[in-house]
Amino acid sequence: MVNCEPTFIAIKPDGVQQGLVGEIIKRFEQKGFLLVDMKFMHASEDLLKEHYIDLKDRPFFAGLVKYMLSGLVVAMVWEGLKVVKTGQVMLGETNPADSKPGTIRGDFCIQVGRDIIHGSDSVESAEKEIALWFQPEELVDYKNCAQDWIYE
């Protein structure tokens, strides 16, 4: 696919517990993005501390790691044209109160501490996060037959 980029999306424990996995996948698929890999897992404390390393000095860091350790996470890799930017729009603002209806957080979240989903904020962070959560041999390379109908 021309100009294809990857992004990392993780459905957090509260999103899994609310039964939103299928709805979130559906939204990304309906937008035309390609699901490249997915894991249903308990993330380790080391993995989470590395993933959120940029937040380590923030007062909520320990609570964030504890929350992410509290249940299952669905880690996914998606590909598509401008998937990082579009994915951020689809997720909505980090604070659900600032998210518009129609976004994932705008439709399904109330508090910032339970925002159900993480999405990479740049192509560089996507590549770093994907490498952290997935081994290279886990990533699937295929062309969806609908791609010719979605992309010029």
The one catalytic residue among 118, 119, 120, 129: 118
DSSP letters along 48-111, please?
HHHHTGGGTTSTTHHHHHHHHHTS-EEEEEEEEETHHHHHHHHH--SSGGGSPBTBHHHHH---
Instruction: Name the phi and psi angles at 85, rounded to 5.
Output: -65, -45
Instruction: Name the phi and psi angles at 44, rounded to 5.
Output: -80, 160
- Verify whether residue 51 is a known catalytic residue: no
Tell me the CB-side half-sphere exposure of residue 42, using CA atoms within 13 A.
6
Residues involved in catalysis: 118
